[in-house]
């Protein structure tokens, strides 16, 4: 492994440790030191970009006279290491000869910010060639040189005395001229100070007026922000309950408007107001500020784990979110019109969502959507294809004492997985272990994009729904953790 790949892998692992389950991290210090000994402050921001990680470093001196901005883009390799895809300094590609040294500096800043030193570009002073006097040498006898030197000194003394006498009279005249000039200058300075005082007084008046204008503008902005948020919340209250998703999106956008810092941000949030439930669900799904990971929920049925994972990782729910909750009203998937409650949860891979277009369509990141896994040990009771739910599999987990005490007349409890990408290949009677892969998440059947439709079914006499196995009721699989 090359030095650069080792440094890139080390930096990526440091950033992964700082990010944890979050999408972004920031930190810094005000007590750093540059390579020339000046105090500096730096601010670091790391963010996930799909499977990649970005790091932005900003290093400044207190008087803002020097600044360095570095940008790193790291991407994983199949063998588990990381490589550097991009490196910029002050918005230009970083010189290849300096990349390794500056990678080490970035690592040092993350590992020990108090002792790290920064390579700021400090202007170097020019070095002038020293002036070295040349020694005087001659062949005159020493005594002759001494007499000649004395004679030169005496002549210079008398010449200086004569010149000083002449300069004395000139100095007297110059002093008189200076006194006159000082008097004139003092008068002009007094006039200039008076004029400057008048201008400063006028400037104070203009600043006071500008301050009043700013206060009025701020008050007007606060009023507009609160009034707009109140109007949108009123519109949400007027929507019928079958538009539950729109109600939730309206209130969410009202919260964003109420915390907006400019008119431009208010206008942007207004432009996102959805026209139907599908648009509302898309907005709530892709807005990073609204994402609550599946790991923040707990199972309502004791013993069930999360039914999704990324291949090669644990099924801890950290990379997924519930995009549509249990009981939400949605248009009937049977094509009969009207709205029906969603008696399941839809689960998506958060990293699969890149952005949302102007018409509120999801743009999905070109990566794996993940896999559905068994939430508990069990036996496959049905697997196949349905025009609504696409490829699916249902697993029976039998009947446990803790379940029978909670669900009256329980015969068996099962979990249902649908919209799989392809035929999962299971046969009736196949045994499956907890966290064993059921199938790849897809969008077969009637689906707007790759997601897992997950149900918990309680089979008992008189259940609301019926299939070849018997009557059953659907239960809410997950609730937010307290």
Residues of the chain with pLDDT under 70: 35-36, 113-154, 156-158, 161-169, 179, 181, 183-186, 278, 285-290, 329-339, 352-367
DSSP 52-98: EEEEEEEEE-TTSS-EEEEEEEEEE-TTS-EEEEEEEETTEEPPGGG
- Which pLDDT belongs to residue 368? 75
Render pLDDT for 191-242 as a digit per residue (tens, 0 to 9). 777 888 778 888 888 888 888 778 888 888 888 888 898 999 999 888 887 7
- Which pLDDT belongs to residue 139? 42
What does the block give as tokens for 372?
A: 């559905």
Q: Which residues pair with 83 in a beta bridge?
A: 75
Q: Please measure the distance between the N-terminal and C-terminal CA atoms of the chain and give it in whole angstroms.
A: 46
* DSSP single-letter state for residue 478: E
Evaluate if pTM is beyond 0.75: no
- Which pLDDT belongs to residue 197? 79
- Which pLDDT belongs to residue 471? 96
- Which pLDDT belongs to residue 138? 44
Burial of 16 per CB tally in 10 Å (0-12, 13-18, 19+): middle
- Residue 98 dihedral angles phi and psi, to the nearest 5°: -105, -5
156: Cα separation from own chain's centroid? 81
- Which pLDDT belongs to residue 298? 93
> Order of strands across the sheet with 52-60?
92-93, 82-89, 67-76, 52-60, 39-49, 24-34, 117-118
Q: Which residues pair with 193 in a beta bridge?
A: none
């Amino acid at each position: 492994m090359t030095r650069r790949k080792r440094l890139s892998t080390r930096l990526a692992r440091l950033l992964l440790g700082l990010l944890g389950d979050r999408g972004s991290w920031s930190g810094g210090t005000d007590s750093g030191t540059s390579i020339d000994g000046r105090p500096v402050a730096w601010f670091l921001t790391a963010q996930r970009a799909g499977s990649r990680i970005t790091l932005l470093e900003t290093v400044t001196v207190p008087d803002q006279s020097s600044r360095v901005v570095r940008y790193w883009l790291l991407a994983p390799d199949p063998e588990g290491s990381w490589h550097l895809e991009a490196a910029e300094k002050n918005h230009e590609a970083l010189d290849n000869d300096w990349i390794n040294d500056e990678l080490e500096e970035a690592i040092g800043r993350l590992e020990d910010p108090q002792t790290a030193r920064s390579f700021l570009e400090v202007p170097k002073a020019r070095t002038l060639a020293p002036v070295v006097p040349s020694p005087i040498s001659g062949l005159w006898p020493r005594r002759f040189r001494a007499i000649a030197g004395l004679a030169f000194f005496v002549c210079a003394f008398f010449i200086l005395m004569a010149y000083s006498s002449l300069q004395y009279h000139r100095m007297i005249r110059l002093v008189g001229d200076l006194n006159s000039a000082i008097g004139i200058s003092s008068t002009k300075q007094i006039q200039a100070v008076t004029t400057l005082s008048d201008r400063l007084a006028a400037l104070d008046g203009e600043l006071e007026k500008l301050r009043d204008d700013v206060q009025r503008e701020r008050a007007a902005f606060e009023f507009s922000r609160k009034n707009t948020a109140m109007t949108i919340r009123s519109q949400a209250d007027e929507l019928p309950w079958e538009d539950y998703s729109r109600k939730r999106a309206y209130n969410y956008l009202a919260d964003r408007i109420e915390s907006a810092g400019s008119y431009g941000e208010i206008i942007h949030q207004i432009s996102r107001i959805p026209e139907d439930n599908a648009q509302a669900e898309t907005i709530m799904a892709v807005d990073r500020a609204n994402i609550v990971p599946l790991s923040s929920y707990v199972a309502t049925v004791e013993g069930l784990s999360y039914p999704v994972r990324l291949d090669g990782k644990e099924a801890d729910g950290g990379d997924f979110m519930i995009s549509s909750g249990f009981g939400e009203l949605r248009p009937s998937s049977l094509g009969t019109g009207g709205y029906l409650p969603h008696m399941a949860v839809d689960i998506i891979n958060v990293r699969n969502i890149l952005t949302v277009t102007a018409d509120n369509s999801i743009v999905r990141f070109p990566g794996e959507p993940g896999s559905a896994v068994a939430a508990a040990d069990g036996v496959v009771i049905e697997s196949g294809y349905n025009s609504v739910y696409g490829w699916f599999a249902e697993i029976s987990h039998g009947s446990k004492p803790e379940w029978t005490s909670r669900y009256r007349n329980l015969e068996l409890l099962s979990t249902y997985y649908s919209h799989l990408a392809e035929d999962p290949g299971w046969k009736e009677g196949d045994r499956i272990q907890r966290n064993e892969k059921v199938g790849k998440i897809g969008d077969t059947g009637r689906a707007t994009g790759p997601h897992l439709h997950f149900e918990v079914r309680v089979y008992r006499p008189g259940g609301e729904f019926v299939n070849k196995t018997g009557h059953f009721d659907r239960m809410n699989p997950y609730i937010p953790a307290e």
